[in-house]
């Protein structure tokens, strides 16, 4: 066990130290503000305070972990032997940067609690983030800092346990907004689909639409049986998130009363973990979230303790409070819809820290490194090659490689783009 001394043990301090030592590095840690207890401890230990007590492993501290409330934080990012870093320290510190305060800033999504410009949906955008501005969005920077800290500690305390290497977890996420491209839609939407295809001079789409509606062709987005076969073949357990809400301007899916749609969800839930793809409205309205969750729970007769937001997480400063109110345990929205990378600068699941009340919550956040809409900004080959590189660069076995796809990805009509085959190859890559 590593004993940490600090002049004041705060909720922020214990939160980030436990995340780094226990969840990322898998090393036990304890805390004390007693100098006598620290001095008498015979095992590995470090002090995190303003001045060293003696010749111990000392890391100087920034004030962030000892503050309360939210305020502007001056940050200057510089280079630490190839890694971006900030909160630079003095020469007496064993580390040149306060990686604990910096990790807390990034992981708590501190910048999303500060005033920022929002898009038309009300979302915090990637380009505003410190990670994007300083070109480390695709780096699990907190995890890389943690490994560098561990290496330094092993130099001083060789008795610390070495964690054996294992492949990090790959988690495919299937986000189902529209299970069908043409079937089971209202007459108005079917007419709108036809008019849209006419406007684009896409006569193949019109022919395909009516072949599907006449039962002469399979709906190109109805790929659930093939997905099931693929996941079985490659021994992978997916997570399915179904949009199960009334149709609105933002959320246009199949009616929750549709028999075929309900049967599809129940059949999927019999073989897989199924959870709620919460609507746009539910991110702001507690009643909407509660209604959607209860409706899905009654259908599949299973507990719904995980949620992913349709349109992605708008802002950590607002989106998670509804989940906490309804005791949701797991979130799979921590990512950007249009950008590949680590929104919280870590690939390891962590608990949401409520900066408004300065406490760790029970909501566990699972980082999502990429969504299909972000991947499709690149060619199919380049997109999946980047995913492979990101996975291979994960520095700890505690990492979580979550990637969100839609059921439409296997659409055989877009064979010229080869997304279908690249996806299958990617599943094979993780099965090796």
> What per-residue confidence (pLDDT) applies to 415?
47
**Phi-psi category of residue 367: left, alpha or beta, with phi > 0 → left and psi -120 to 50 → alpha:** beta
Q: Given the DSSP bridges, would you call strands 78-80 and 83-85 parallel, antiparallel or unpaired?
A: antiparallel
> What per-residue confidence (pLDDT) applies to 28?
95
Q: Which residue reads 């980082």 in tokens?
A: 367
DSSP class per residue in 337-376: SSS-S-TTS-SS-EEEEETTTTEEEEEEEEEEEEEHHHHT
Which value, to the nearest 10 degrees, does the dihedral of the CA atoms of residues 320, 323, 324, 330 take? Answer: -90
> What per-residue confidence (pLDDT) applies to 182?
59
Q: How far is CA 99 from CA 16, 286, 297, in A?
A: 10, 36, 42
* Cα separation of the two ends of the chain: 35
Question: What's the token pair of residue 258?
Answer: 């549709």
> What per-residue confidence (pLDDT) applies to 299?
97
Bridge partners of residue 60, in order along the sequence: 49
Name the residue among 208, 204, 232, 235 with its Cα closest to residue 220: 208
pTM of the predicted protein model? 0.92
Domains in the chain: boundaries: 2-156, 170-181+219-431
Bridge partners of residue 331, in order along the sequence: 307, 365
Question: What's the token pair of residue 414?
Answer: 């877009």
Q: How far is CA 196 from CA 76, 189, 207, in A?
A: 49, 10, 13
Fold of 170-181+219-431: TIM Barrel (3.20.20)
Contact 180, 221 (CB under 8 A): yes
Give every CB contact of residue 20 below 8 A, 6+ residues apart in sequence.
Answer: 99, 100, 103, 142, 146, 149
Name the residue among 349, 351, 343 with its Cα closest to residue 314: 343
Question: What's the token pair of residue 252?
Answer: 């246009």
- Residues of the chain with pLDDT below 70 are 181-217, 249, 412-417
- CA 223/CA 414 separation, integer angstroms: 14
Name the residue among 214, 207, 239 with its Cα closest to residue 304: 239
């Amino acid at each position: 066990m590593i004993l940490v001394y600090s002049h004041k043990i705060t909720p922020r301090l214990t939160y980030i130290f436990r995340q780094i030592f226990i969840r990322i590095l898998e090393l036990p840690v304890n805390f004390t503000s007693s100098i006598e207890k620290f001095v008498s401890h015979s095992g590995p230990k470090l002090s995190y305070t303003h001045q060293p007590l003696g010749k111990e492993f000392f890391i100087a501290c920034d004030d962030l972990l000892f503050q309360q409330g939210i305020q502007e934080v001056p940050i200057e990012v510089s280079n630490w032997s190839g890694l971006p870093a900030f909160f630079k320290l003095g020469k007496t510190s064993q580390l040149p940067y306060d990686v604990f305060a910096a990790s807390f800033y990034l992981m708590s999504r501190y910048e999303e609690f500060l005033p920022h410009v929002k898009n038309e949906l009300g979302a915090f955008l990637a380009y505003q983030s410190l990670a994007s501005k300083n070109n480390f969005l695709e780096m699990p920077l907190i995890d890389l800092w943690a490994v560098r800290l561990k290496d330094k500690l092993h130099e001083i305390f060789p008795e610390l346990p070495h964690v054996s290497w294992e492949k990090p977890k790959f988690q495919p996420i299937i986000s189902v907004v529209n299970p069908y491209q043409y079937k089971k839609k209202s007459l108005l939407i079917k007419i709108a689909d036809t008019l849209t295809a006419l406007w684009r001079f896409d006569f193949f789409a019109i022919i395909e639409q009516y072949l599907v509606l006449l039962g002469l062709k399979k709906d190109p987005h109805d790929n659930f049986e093939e997905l099931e076969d693929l996941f079985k073949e490659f021994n992978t357990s997916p997570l399915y998130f179904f949009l199960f809400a009334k149709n609105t301007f933002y959320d246009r899916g199949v009616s929750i009363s549709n028999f075929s749609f309900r049967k599809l969800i129940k059949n999927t839930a019999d073989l897989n973990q199924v959870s709620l793809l919460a609507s746009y409205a539910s991110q702001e309205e507690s009643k909407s979230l509660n209604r959607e969750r209860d409706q899905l729970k009654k259908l599949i007769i299973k507990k719904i303790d995980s949620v992913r937001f349709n349109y992605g997480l708008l802002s950590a400063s607002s989106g998670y409070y509804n989940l906490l109110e309804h005791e949701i345990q797991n979130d799979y929205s921590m990512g950007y819809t249009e950008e590949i990378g680590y929104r919280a600068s870590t690939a390891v699941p962590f608990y949401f820290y409520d900066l408004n009340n300065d406490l760790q919550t029970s909501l566990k956040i699972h980082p999502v490194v990429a969504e299909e809409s972000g991947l499709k900004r690149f060619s199919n080959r380049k997109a999946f090659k980047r995913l492979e590189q990101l996975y291979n660069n994960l520095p700890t076995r505690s990492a979580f490689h979550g990637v969100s796809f839609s059921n439409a990805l296997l659409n055989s009509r877009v064979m010229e783009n080869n997304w279908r085959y690249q996806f299958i190859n990617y599943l094979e890559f993780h099965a090796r």
